[in-house]
Amino acid sequence: MEEKLQRLKTLLAESADLAHAAALLEWDQQVNMPEGGTRSRSEQLSTLQRLAHERFTADEVGQLLEDLQPYAEQLDPDSMDARLLYVTGRDYKKRTKVPASLVAEFTETASRAQQVWARARANDDFAAFAPHLQRIVELRREYAALFAPYDHVYDALLDDFEPGVKTADVQAVFDALRPQQVELIKAIGERPQVDDSFLYGKFDEQRQWDFGVEVLTKVGYDWKRGRQDKSAHPFTTSFGNDDVRITTRVDTGFFNSAFFATLHEGGHALYEQGIADEFSRTPLQNAASLAFHESQSRMWENLVGRSRPFWEYFFPRLQEVFPAQFGNLSLDAFYKGINKVEPSLIRVEADEATYNLHIMLRLEIEIGLMDGSMQVKDLPEIWNTRMREYLGVVPPNDAQGVLQDVHWSGGMIGYFSTYALGNVISAQLWEKILEDIPDLDEQMRQGKFDALLAWVREKIHRHGAKYEPKDLLQRVTGSAMDPAPYMRYLKSKFGEIYGL
C-alpha cells in the first residue's frame, strides 16, 4: 500500500506543478505581460490547465484511490494520509465529471476575457465586454449541468469555493444579516457624519508603497517567500507556500486604496505562507475555503488594520511619512475617518457596515445569470437599480459600476458570497482569539503581532484544506457559522464611533 500511496502522491504533485505553472502565467498576465500577448497566453494557459486536469483525473488516479480505500479505513481519520485520500477522492469524483475540452475552452475564454475587461473598464465600455461575459456564463451553466440533479444550479459553482456549502445556506446567512445591517446604516445616517477629508489629497505613490511594505513586514509577511507588484485589481496568488505573491493598486489622491488593499492581500498571503510544508504539491495545499481565506484578509484589514490599538502604534509613523496630510491630525480623528460609514460605489473601498450589501447584490446577479432570470445585456441597468435600492447611490458610469470587479472576467462565478461569509467567520474567530489572547489590544499598541499570527497559524493556516470549512469552524470556535458575532462587532464599534 505504501508504494501505491507514493505513486498517487507523485501524480498529484505533477498535477499541482502544472497548475502552479499556469498560475504563474496568470500572475504575469496581470502584472507584466504586454497587451498584445493575450492570444498566445490564452493558448498557453489552456494547454497547462488541460494537462493539469487530465493528470489529476487520469484512470490511474481513480484506480489508486480505489485500491487505497481499505488502507484509508485503517488510518486515524485525522491523519494527513487519511485526509489526503478523502479530499483527493472528493475532488477526483467532482473533476472527472468535467471533460478536459471544457476545462481548456473555459480557461482560454477567461484568459481572453480578462484582457478585454481591463480595456473595457478603462474605457467605460460594457458593450465590449458583454459578449465575453455571455460566453463565460454559458460555459458556467454547461459546467453546472454536469452535477445535476442539485438543489440549485448555483450549488455546483459555490461548492468549488466553499466545499459542502449550499446556496440556501448562504441565503439564510444573508437574510439574517441584511435587515440588521440596513437598520444599523440607517441609525448611523441619522447621526452627525465624521470627517474623512484628510484621506483625500496628494499622497506620493512611493511613500504609500513603502509604508505598506513596512506594515506588512511588521505583521509577519515573509519577503523571502513573497513579493508585491501592481495590478489593475489587487490579488494574491501562490505557487507553493514558498512563493506567495500579492499585488495592489495605488491611488495618489486617496490614502485608503493602496494601504488597506495591501493589508488585505497580505492577510491572504500570510494564510498561504502558513500552510504546512508536508501538504506541498497535494490537494491539501489550499485554504479550507475561500470564506476562510477571506476571513484572514478581512481580519488583518479590518479587525486589526482599522482598530484603534493598531493605529496607536502605527499612526506616529504615518505622520512621519505624510507630515503635511496627517502631522497635525489627532489619532481619534484619523481612527474615525478611516472607519467612516457612508454608502459608496466601489466594493473594495466600502466600509465595514455597508460592505456586505455590495456582496448581496453580486450574489443575486450571479444567481440570476445562472438560473436564466437575468441576461448579460441587462446587467448595467440591474446593477444601477439595485445599488440605488440597497445603498442609495448610483454609479455615474459602468467602470464604477458593473465593470469594477475582475472576478467575472476570470470566470469566478460562485466566488463573491465568500467575501461576506469571510466577514462572518472573521468575527467568530476574533471572539475566540480575544478569549485566548486577552491582552491582544495591548500587544498591538506595542506593535507586537507575533501571538496573533501564531494563533491563526496553529488553528487555521497550517491545516490547509485538511478539513472542510464547516468542520474547521466547529473545531476552532465550537459552533457553526453564526452572523451574531459579526453584528455584535459592528454595533459595538460603530456605536462607539457614532454615539449610537
Following DSSP, what letter does each residue of 342-409 receive, concatenated? ---S-GGG--HHHHHHHHHHHHHHHHHHHHTSS-GGGHHHHHHHHHHHHHS---SSSTTTTTS-SGGG
Measured CA to CA, the distance from residue 174 to residue 169 in angstroms comes to 9
Q: Is 265 part of the annotated catalytic residue set?
A: yes
Identify the active-site residue in 108, 265, 272, 468: 265
The answer to whether 282 and 289 are in contact (CB under 8 A) is no
Handedness of CA 216, 222, 223, 228 (dihedral sign): negative
The answer to whether 425 and 476 are in contact (CB under 8 A) is no
The answer to whether 290 and 414 are in contact (CB under 8 A) is no
Place of cell 505573491: 245
Q: Is 164 left (phi over 0), alpha (psi -120 to 50) or beta?
A: left
Q: Classify strands 236-238 and 226-230 as parallel, antiparallel or unpaired.
A: unpaired
CA-to-CA dists, residue 494 to 72, 256, 411, 432, angstroms: 50, 19, 36, 21
Q: At what angle do helices 417-436 and 167-189 cross, to 10 degrees?
A: 80
The answer to whether 461 and 270 are in contact (CB under 8 A) is yes
The answer to whether 395 and 178 are in contact (CB under 8 A) is no
**DSSP letter, residue 446:** T
Active-site residue numbers? 265
